[in-house]
Structure 1
Amino acid sequence: KYGMGINEDIEAIEKTYQVIRDFSHKFQEINGSVLCKELLGCDINTPKGKDYYN
């Protein structure tokens, strides 16, 4: 149901992936990273990080 089918539009899929790559690269150029930990300046998976953002 959710995997690649036989009649998938490979060109459309590859175009979509290219748009995602371009967006990701531009976002990283502007913000310096795509990782939450680096963008926020702390790890929100730790108690200290959770306290900081709550």
Structure 2
Amino acid sequence: MYAELLGRRGIHGDALKAVGAAWGEALAAGRPVVLEFRTDRGIAPIRPHIMAEQG
């Protein structure tokens, strides 16, 4: 909703099946888009074996 206030298109997804449709909608929007996907907290966003310099 915040993206919409800024004149962007805001797309939220919280299901794996929604990712493809969200990307399609974003690419067809014709204006800047903010994609937001809710993720699983049990999965680290960066692999644990990555060194600090690589992050």
TM over 0.5: no
TM-score range, shorter chain: under 0.3
> Of the two structures, which has the highest relative contact order with CA contacts closer than 8 Å and spacing of 6 or more?
2
Normalising by the residue count of structure 2, what TM-score does the alignment of the two structures yield? 0.25
> Which structure is higher in strand share?
2
Instruction: Specify the structure having the higher radius of gyration (Cα).
Output: 1
TM-score, normalization: structure 1?
0.26
Higher fraction of helix: 1
